[in-house]
Amino acid sequence: MLNRRSVLAAGGLAAGVFGVPQLLAPAQGHEDSAHGEHTFQESKTFTGTKPEIVPWTRPMPVPPVLRPLVSTAKQEIYQLSIERTTAEILPGLQSPVMGFGGQFVGPTIRAKTGRKTLIMVHNKMDEAANIHLHGGHVAPEHDGHPKDVIEPGRTRLYLYPNTQQGTTLWYHDHSHGTEAAHVYLGLHGAYVIEDESERALNLPSGAYDIPILLRDIQFDDSGNIVVFDDPSKRTVVLANGVPQPYFEVAARKYRFRLVNSANQRVFKLRLTGDKITRIGSDGGLLANAVETEELVLSSAERSDVVIDFSKYPIGSKVVLTDAVAGEILRFDVVRRATDQSRVPAVLRPLPAMPLSTVDREVDLSFVFKPNDRPDGVINGKVFDMDRVDFTIKRGTTETWLIKSSDPTGVKHNFHLHLVQFRVLERNGGPPLPSDAGLKDTIPITAGETVKVQATFTGYTGRYVYHCHFLEHSWIGMMAQLEIVP
């Protein structure tokens, strides 16, 4: 059985984060989940030699779009399972994983601004799980709060109102104490909100609008998935669940919705021989299309980009690379196609920012206990889902100074539920290009300070904010706000 105690006792997470052997002390504390420890049965199903990944031998799958059971004038109703399944990640080898709809990379849910999405989620697993719509503006009871789980064998209804503008979101498990393992093992999928008001822009759409979920994973020498070890050993990078796939494209423009669904990784993406045109951030379209040499995506961040393959002769290969992992995805230009789509320089004005009336500080850090095992903390406190850390009056605009005073120098990032925010400053200077637009997640390197502004409209109730390096939030780097009338 794999649980937090055994993982930490084995030194996996601690050594992985810190690389210091004295962290191998027995684990204590944190075992406060009402739903118990994570108990994924490690499946040592393969005892041969790890199959070799030969690049560009398998196509990148496009996760199928989930079909509604019912579609009415105002809403779509879906059914979705959470289950254990297997996936062919390494060639010819079925690895035990978890999947929404039984798929490793769950189905894509395509919603529309102004139409509700109702999802009946049935947990077929033998342990509790749930769904958080990352970046979604939803009521607290539908947000997948860590304590709000679906017990084994039970079904729960989630309502997503889709009142926000078109954007690329993703959905993933957020169950207390088990989210890191569940997402790592596969409980993740794309959630696209389409927006009629964007139609006039004539961006690439339909078959030329494709989500790509990027993440990493570790295998041992026999080909078994290693759940928690040193994150830097997660050297196999997957695009929609497959390592180093090719993807056949027509010589025209494509919109790719890039999602960093890795538990803890910052991708630095480049395209061989070309720039990338960025059009969207976490919360929707940018004000202007921006050409960039390098696209930085921290865990849970999204970026919508357009790549124009029309400049390439048929037969060309265009490779997406990461600064650390190297070549991760190859686009093979295989056919001509007509293309009426455009990438207008001016996309959509960002919403005006109301006057901020409240200032707060958020400090992400690790704290060492006498046994040298770390706690993840925010403002010095380990997450307690029954404690409210910030009380916010509904409708208020607030400025948060988010920093990391972490003595270890480890990178973190920051995710705020419910609202999209704007980055005002980074380290007292202008934001990074990757901070542009509407954001719900940003990277924070140790010693950095990032000033963000958010307006807490819509709902009252409790939501969490946390580091989205999931092994960090798992050991406590999470806190809770309550919005009051």
Size of the site for Cu ion (CB under 5 A): 4
Contact 242, 58 (CB under 8 A): yes
Rounded to a whole number of angstroms, the minimum distance from the CB of residue 411 to Cu ion is 7
Rounded to a whole number of angstroms, the minimum distance from the CB of residue 425 to Cu ion is 21
Rounded to a whole number of angstroms, the minimum distance from the CB of residue 456 to Cu ion is 23
SS3 of 15, please? helix
Rounded to a whole number of angstroms, the minimum distance from the CB of residue 382 to Cu ion is 13
CB closer to Cu ion out of 105 and 377: 377
Q: Is the dihedral of CA 424, 428, 433, 439 positive or negative?
A: negative
Taking the alpha carbons at both ends of the chain, their separation in whole angstroms is 45
With contacts defined by CB under 5 A, name the span among 19-27, 114-122, 268-276, 465-473 that binds Cu ion. Answer: 465-473
**The pair of three-digit structure tokens given for residue 247, joined into one six-digit string:** 């993807």
CB closer to Cu ion out of 273 and 447: 447
With contacts defined by CB under 5 A, name the span among 143-151, 229-237, 420-428, 460-468 that binds Cu ion. Answer: 460-468
- Under the criterion CB under 5 A, does residue 472 sit at the interface with Cu ion? yes
Question: How many C-beta neighbours within 10 Å does residue 72 have?
Answer: 10
H/E/C letters for each residue in 54-105? CCCCCECCCCCECCCCEECCCEEEEEEEEEEEEEECCCCCEEEEEEECCECC
Interaction with Cu ion in 205-234: which residues (CB under 5 A)?
Answer: none
Question: How many C-beta neighbours within 10 Å does residue 403 have?
Answer: 21
CB closer to Cu ion out of 107 and 443: 443
CB closer to Cu ion out of 103 and 298: 298
SS3 of 220, please? coil
Contact 150, 184 (CB under 8 A): no
- Under the criterion CB under 5 A, does residue 412 sit at the interface with Cu ion? yes
Interaction with Cu ion in 140-199: which residues (CB under 5 A)?
Answer: none
Rounded to a whole number of angstroms, the minimum distance from the CB of residue 283 to Cu ion is 22
CB closer to Cu ion out of 113 and 404: 404
Interaction with Cu ion in 242-281: which residues (CB under 5 A)?
Answer: none
For 288, counting Cβ atoms within 10 Å of its Cβ (0-12 exposed, 13-18 middle, 19+ buried), the class is middle
Contact 112, 196 (CB under 8 A): yes
Question: How many C-beta neighbours within 10 Å does residue 3 have?
Answer: 18
Rounded to a whole number of angstroms, the minimum distance from the CB of residue 465 to Cu ion is 12
Stretch (H or E) spanning 47? none
CB closer to Cu ion out of 160 and 421: 421
Question: How many C-beta neighbours within 10 Å does residue 272 have?
Answer: 12
Interaction with Cu ion in 55-114: which residues (CB under 5 A)?
Answer: none
Rounded to a whole number of angstroms, the minimum distance from the CB of residue 442 to Cu ion is 12
CB closer to Cu ion out of 17 and 307: 17
Rounded to a whole number of angstroms, the minimum distance from the CB of residue 378 to Cu ion is 10
What is residue 283's DSSP assignment? T
Position among 46, 184, 465, 469 found at the interface with Cu ion (CB under 5 A) = 469
With contacts defined by CB under 5 A, name the span among 50-58, 65-73, 218-226, 407-415 that binds Cu ion. Answer: 407-415
Rounded to a whole number of angstroms, the minimum distance from the CB of residue 469 to Cu ion is 4
Interface with Cu ion (CB under 5 A): 412, 467, 469, 472
